[in-house]
Amino acid sequence: MKAMIERAGGAAVRVPAARMLINGEWCEGDAGRVIAVHDPATEEKIAEVVAASVTDVDRAVLAAHRAFESRAWQKMRPLDRGRLLEKLALLVERDAEDLARLETLDNGKPYAVSRNVDLKFAIDALRYYGGWSSKMAGEYIQLSPLGDDGGTYRAYTERKPVGVVGGITPWNFPLGQAVQKMAPAIAFGCTVVLKPSEEASLTTLRLGELILEAGFPEGTVNIVTGYGHDAGQALVDHPLVRKIAFTGSTATGQKILASSARTMKRVTLELGGKSPTIVLADADLNLAIPGAANAIFPNSGQICTAGSRLLVDASIYDEVIQGVAEIGRGLKLGSGFDPAVQLGPLVSSRQLERVSGLVAQGIEEGAEPICGAGRAADTGYFYQPTVLSGGRADMRIAQEEVFGPVVLAMAVQDPQEIRALANDTAYGLGASIWTRDINKAHLLAAELDCGTVWINTHNVLDLAMPFGGTKLSGLGREFGTEVIHAYTEPRAVCMRLQDPVYG
């Protein structure tokens, strides 16, 4: 395969070779199998990645296990683990433009988004978690012993790293997701095997190059590429992997949770969503209309918290859906290397088929297309920004995640109906409320069954704010102080002291 790929505007993108990072060294897969990688904007084959076998995964896990058990890693000062992450942040910052171009080539998103969102998040996350490395602390606990045996008791807890972490990631924010799994694991003293999505592994492999350059001890971060059903599953089944940190679809999350029962693995699951954007009658429509469009269209709707259901007070319904549709119609789709382009393609032909199928079924079930509802080009996996009106809760598209630039609008009459509709899916990831009335905003926020509620904004994620879902949207939280629980276990230490004076 070519190492450099030329793109419009003179962009030359260096593509990593089909290799995996195991125990500090680049290696090929033992079975010699590879997966073809396509540019989703042109459908051209641009690279190959290794399809790891169960044996490859086993080698990576053993390397991570040896590294975890090593005295050097166990004894490394927490601040020095933080320095490794800081050093990696500097290297990612140095190569940010290269990495952003590679993300655009592999995933299709506009270069400005790769550079200003994905790369910025990855650099921030490395720094944020680097800072956590020295903040691990336990607590002193006062005991009430049952028998008076003359002893005085003291107890404390310490937080121990869980061990080898398997980080399994999706394709919508590939580099950001890889960092989101490896950085907290390293900060808290775990070691990692990353398994990026087979649809977008290239920036995770480039991150591997920088991990070596930063001087991470061998085996502390390993990268295996490949399919979920074999490489991913092998990681989940491996007895030496103590925790799976997963982001992806609910169906895969459910499989992982079931498989993890056998080895009683710790799991955090960041899964799908069907988040409502709720526009109340008193909302400032100058904010709410672009806000609702911005909740669904960026990243071509491939955001887990995308506002894919638009619940609008009946009195302003037409104005809002027409306004959102107008914004959708005006978005420029095309190659992520064209600076004027606002939306890239969907990631794969499979995703294009899924989005097209769900929209077609929604229209069959009675939804009315206000804009879009079709493929946007003959070549490349482009789908038009789409607003469907007349949604009902019993439609498939009202219940299933589309993961495309498609919003289903419904007119709502009163607060009871809003509450009922907003919570009426199996998901519980996010929701936004658009209103000028602070009372209504907080009263409704308290009634929404989901992990994050935004008021007069949507999709704001911050490393300091816990993130995750209720119901089928997941298990556990990432970011913020909650992240400590995801990668460490408390250990209680209890001692009996013999008091020589009073005892």
Helix H or strand E segment including 14: strand 11-14
* Minimum CB distance to ligand NAD, residue 59 (Å): 18
Distance between CA atoms of residues 439 and 435, nearest Å: 10
Distance between CA atoms of residues 202 and 103, nearest Å: 7
Question: 37 near 45, Cβ under 8 Å?
Answer: yes
Stretch that binds ligand NAD, among 27-35, 126-134, 156-164, 252-260 (CB under 6 A): 252-260
Cβ nearer to ligand NAD, comparing 35 with 285 = 35
Instruction: Answer yes or no whether residue 362 interacts with ligand NAD by CB under 6 A.
Output: no
With CB under 6 A as the contact rule, the residue among 220, 247, 299, 459 that binds ligand NAD is 247
Distance from chain centroid for Cα 446: 25
**Residue of 190, 198, 304, 371 with catalytic role:** 304
Measured distance between the N- and C-terminal CA atoms of the chain, rounded to whole angstroms: 77
Encoded one letter per residue, x for contact with ligand NAD by CB under 6 A and - for no contact, window 403-422 reads x-------------------
Encoded one letter per residue, x for contact with ligand NAD by CB under 6 A and - for no contact, window 466-485 reads ---x----x-----------
Which two three-digit tokens encode residue 284?
């400032």
Strand 266-270 vs strand 241-247: parallel, antiparallel, or unpaired?
A: parallel
Instruction: Answer yes or no whether residue 232 interacts with ligand NAD by CB under 6 A.
Output: yes
With CB under 6 A as the contact rule, the residue among 50, 67, 256, 295 that binds ligand NAD is 256
* Minimum CB distance to ligand NAD, residue 408 (Å): 16
Q: Which of residues 162-191 bind ligand NAD (CB under 6 A)?
A: 168-172
Distance between CA atoms of residues 186 and 163, nearest Å: 10
Stretch that binds ligand NAD, among 95-103, 210-218, 227-235, 338-346 (CB under 6 A): 227-235
Stretch that binds ligand NAD, among 16-24, 40-48, 249-257, 372-380 (CB under 6 A): 249-257
Stretch that binds ligand NAD, among 183-191, 207-215, 224-232, 334-342 (CB under 6 A): 224-232
Contacts of 49 (CB under 8 A, 6+ apart): 18, 34, 35, 37, 198, 201, 202, 205, 225, 226
Catalytic site includes residue 198: no
The conformation of residue 189, written as its DSSP 8-state character, comes to T
Catalytic site includes residue 270: yes
Helix H or strand E segment including 325: helix 317-330
Beta bridge partners of 494: 155
Q: Which of residues 129-148 bind ligand NAD (CB under 6 A)?
A: none
What is the residue whose two structure tokens read 């800072």?
131
DSSP string computed for 283-312: S-HHHHHHHHHHHHSGGGG--TT-EEEEEE
Stretch that binds ligand NAD, among 63-71, 202-210, 268-276, 439-447 (CB under 6 A): 268-276
Where are any strands of DSSP class E within 366-439? 368-371, 386-389, 406-412, 427-428, 430-434
* Minimum CB distance to ligand NAD, residue 419 (Å): 23
Distance between CA atoms of residues 61 and 192, nearest Å: 8
Instruction: Answer yes or no whether residue 272 interacts with ligand NAD by CB under 6 A.
Output: yes
With CB under 6 A as the contact rule, the residue among 273, 362, 385, 476 that binds ligand NAD is 273
By CB under 6 A, the count of residues binding ligand NAD is: 30
Give the residue at shortest CB distance from ligand NAD. 228
Which two three-digit tokens encode residue 225?
């590429």
Question: 434 near 279, Cβ under 8 Å?
Answer: yes
**Residue of 103, 198, 199, 270 with catalytic role:** 270
**Residues near ligand NAD (CB under 6 A):** 168-172, 195, 197-198, 227-229, 232-233, 236, 247-249, 252, 255-256, 270-273, 304, 401, 403, 429, 469, 474
Q: Supply the residues annotated as catalytic.
A: 270, 304
